[in-house]
Amino acid sequence: MNQDYILADPWSIIEEGFDKDRVKSSESLFSIGNGAMGQRANFEEHYSGPTFQGSYIAGVYYPDKTRVGWWKNGYPEYFAKVLNAPNWIGIDVFVDGNPLDLNHCTSVKNFRRELNMREGWYGRSFVAITEQGIELSVKVIRFLSLDLDELGAISYEITPVNQDVQIAFHPYLDSGITNEDSNWDDKFWNTTSVHQEETQAFIGAHTMKTNFATCTFMQARAESNGVSIAAKPGKKNETYVALEFDHKVPKGEKMVLTKFGGYTVSRNHEASQLMDAAKEVLQGASNLGFDALLAQQKEAWSKIWEMSDINIEGDVKAQQGIRFNIFQLNQTYLGKDSRLNIGPKGFTGEKYGGSTYWDTEAYCLPFYMATKNQEVAWSLLEYRYNHLDKAIENAQKLGFTNGAALYPMVTMNGEECHNEWEITFEEIHRNGAISFAIFNYHRYTGDYSYIPKMGLEVLIGVARFWHQRVNFSEDKQKYVMLGVTGPNEYENNVNNNWYTNYLAKWCIDYALDQIETVKTNFASDYARIVTKTKITPEELGDWAKVAGNMFFPFSEKHEVFLQQDGFLDKEMVKVQDLDRSQRPINQKWSWDRILRSPYIKQADVLQGFYFFEDHFDSDTLEKHFDFYEPFTVHESSLSPCVHSIQAAKLGRMEQAYTFYLRTSRLDLDDYNKEVEEGLHITSMAGTWMSIVEGFAGMRILEDKLNFSPQLPDQWDSYSFKINFRNQILTVTVTKTGAIFEITGESELEIVVDGSVLNLVPGKPNSL
């Protein structure tokens, strides 16, 4: 099956032609979301062919009892599952009493989907001939409002083409839904009320165990030829309620159903007020009407694009790819609510469950820092601060004491969800990413206030963890860290993973520095933190001993740090010399074979060089890149971006561009043949980084914004905006040079290719 069927277009994702084999893939690709909820692009009308139904509410999850073959002490009790929520988009359509179902039409012509990213809506149109020979032209537009983020709207328009027909719309709500991903086929939802009045309906349901109460609501109106059609109560049972609009539509005239729907949730309202809140939302929507809401939507998206767009000239597929990534990130997370985070599949599928991985800190934070107001990045940091107590509990379960904190590998509410010992207990470098994100936030925004207010407690908990996690090797006379899994998950339970050791040492050093800074500059915060954490000079001295005497595996022969102890014992056959039939190794090889191979799933030592590039000179980076990249199979969607950035840094633009291509259209062209399960949201931020940090070379060095712009040969130009310390900087890179333009009040000194450039608001400055 041809996977890359999406038509090239700078601002829209477009599919033309109806192919049943593509339905599930397109349901992922045309997903819509507004940060508070999201849904796959399921058809509104009944579809009896293969489909993967999905509608999701941010932060509403179910703790699915852990399922493993062999239990290990310390495994979490449950895995937080992203929940398929009650369906509010459904509209059954009957034509002369027969259901409209594209799976049973004799012909579907002019089928077209469009995800209009610039304006934030999803449309579908087709001409179908039913089994009864009735030809119908259908046009649907759907969007989830950014401004009223509990509301979605659908306009469903149908026109009989070849005869007069009786059309019936049955818009409905349905809470009798299930998850495809369920360990024990538990019932996830309990429906408590089903209510209908006039043109509105409401279903009250709460999640089992977590007890999130929701009201799923709708309001529908239909008209034909400007005449409103009366609503009648429809079918109703314990998990379902419908309205009915019935009308004889003359050939060539259209009948339009406008449906508003969505959720009110006990996370944001009193549980007892959910229906009232829903009515308020509907009232607001009715007051405006569909067209005004859609106009608002376009306006809201235009504001987002204003700050986050990357414009590429000369390569429409690259343009479409990067915009798709930016669009999806914004559909998933907007930073309005510090209880939320960025799930790897966003609102586009169930897989991976949970919501938060270290992806957020390592890959997503830079995107949000640069394309939003800094409150959004603050929200992401605050999320982890709010989970600090849970991280301390989590560490306690693994035998750590004294306020040591281990952040979970996968979480929804701060509790660990993952249950493979080699990941859950050993992929602990994730803890360092939390500290690094605090450093990165301060480095980029220049805002120190987070550290005395919240961050320092996190830094202390993390430093305590590292201090306890190492042990002193009598043999090496150094502190070692045994039994870890690095970012390269194709190694498990290794000793002295360089990345983890280096990060651990850095975390301790950075915590010690910040303790000193807060002590000096924020005395009352310092006093509060000392009281709370009970840090003592002796303890800090112990930390310093560890940080000062950490072991780092190094090869004198190759002049590189070793990924871990014993790395050079492997059979060092490069990826290019490995038979193509053996790849991807994670599908072709048993796990032991992968583990003893030298192959690297994603940047590991090089992840360290990405975080701490300024700790090393370019020659050292080059040596490590040349040593490790040839063994890297990039079988994680998070791998190519780091390599793209480093290749660009080393002036290897061909290679950098090749890596860039591997991520930017990963989902659109379905490289991994799994897009039907959902999109790879978090790695999309890596694509953004490849351009901004890779091609444009953006860095913060000594508190200054640096660039070293390069242009892929394949492009005519690219430009992007970043919000740097509350001023918007536009960077445009063309074949002839780079142009920098700043908005706002203040001048800004930046460094371009090593030279200082003073930017004055309103005056483009080119290199």
Q: Which residues bind a copy of itself (CB under 8 A)?
A: 66-70, 72-74, 397-399, 419-421, 425-426, 471-476, 480, 482-483, 492-496, 565-566, 568-572, 586-593, 595-596
* Number of residues written out for the chain: 767
Spell out where 581-689 has E strands. none
Contacts of 664 (CB under 8 A, 6+ apart): 318, 321, 322, 325, 687, 690
Q: How far is CA 555 from the centre of its chain?
A: 37
Q: How far is CA 11 from the centre of its chain?
A: 20
CA distance 739 to 716: 14
- φ/ψ bin of 657: left (φ > 0), alpha (ψ from -120 to 50), beta (otherwise): alpha
DSSP line for 525-561: HHHHHHHHH---HHHHHHHHHHHHTB---EETTTTEE
Nearer to a copy of itself, 94 or 551 (CB): 551
Tokens of 494: 């290794």
Nearest to 608 by CA among 498, 692, 685: 498
**What DSSP element (H or E) covers 181?**
none
Spell out where 625-710 has E strands. 699-701, 704-707
Nearer to a copy of itself, 286 or 396 (CB): 396
Contacts of 661 (CB under 8 A, 6+ apart): none
Nearer to a copy of itself, 52 or 551 (CB): 551
Nearer to a copy of itself, 358 or 421 (CB): 421
Nearest to 85 by CA among 177, 194, 203, 209: 177
Contacts of 97 (CB under 8 A, 6+ apart): 166, 168
Contacts of 536 (CB under 8 A, 6+ apart): none
DSSP state, 210?
T
Nearest to 616 by CA among 498, 470, 745, 478: 498
Least distance to a copy of itself from the beta carbon of 191, Å? 27
Nearer to a copy of itself, 31 or 636 (CB): 636
Greatest distance between any 2 Cα atoms in the chain: 90
CA distances from 565 to 470, 495, 593, 683 (A): 15, 6, 18, 29
CA distance 194 to 234: 12
CA distance 638 to 645: 12
Least distance to a copy of itself from the beta carbon of 63, Å? 15
Nearer to a copy of itself, 442 or 624 (CB): 624
Nearer to a copy of itself, 20 or 596 (CB): 596
Least distance to a copy of itself from the beta carbon of 395, Å? 10
Tokens of 35: 């940060």
CA distance 195 to 675: 37
Least distance to a copy of itself from the beta carbon of 28, Å? 22
The catalytically annotated residue of 44, 45, 489, 677 is: 489
DSSP line for 702-745: TTEEEE-----TT-SEEEEEEEETTEEEEEEEETTEEEEEE-SS
CA distance 609 to 469: 23
Least distance to a copy of itself from the beta carbon of 64, Å? 11
Least distance to a copy of itself from the beta carbon of 495, Å? 5
- Cβ–Cβ under 8 Å, residues 526 and 519: yes
Least distance to a copy of itself from the beta carbon of 563, Å? 13
- Cβ–Cβ under 8 Å, residues 751 and 707: yes
Least distance to a copy of itself from the beta carbon of 354, Å? 13
Tokens of 357: 């991985």
Least distance to a copy of itself from the beta carbon of 210, Å? 21
Nearer to a copy of itself, 251 or 593 (CB): 593
Nearer to a copy of itself, 557 or 745 (CB): 557
- Cβ–Cβ under 8 Å, residues 13 and 29: yes
Nearer to a copy of itself, 475 or 577 (CB): 475
If one counts every other C-beta atom within 10 angstroms of the C-beta of residue 462, the result is 31
Least distance to a copy of itself from the beta carbon of 406, Å? 10
CA distance 328 to 31: 9
Strand 232-237 with 165-174, pairing: unpaired
**What DSSP element (H or E) covers 394?**
helix 388-397
491: three-class secondary structure by DSSP: coil
Residue 489 annotated to the active site: yes
Least distance to a copy of itself from the beta carbon of 407, Å? 15
Least distance to a copy of itself from the beta carbon of 478, Å? 9
**What DSSP element (H or E) covers 15?**
strand 12-16
CA distance 357 to 372: 21
Tokens of 11: 């601002």
Nearer to a copy of itself, 197 or 577 (CB): 577
Least distance to a copy of itself from the beta carbon of 428, Å? 8
What letter represents residue 104's amino acid? H
Q: Please give the positions annotated as active site.
A: 489
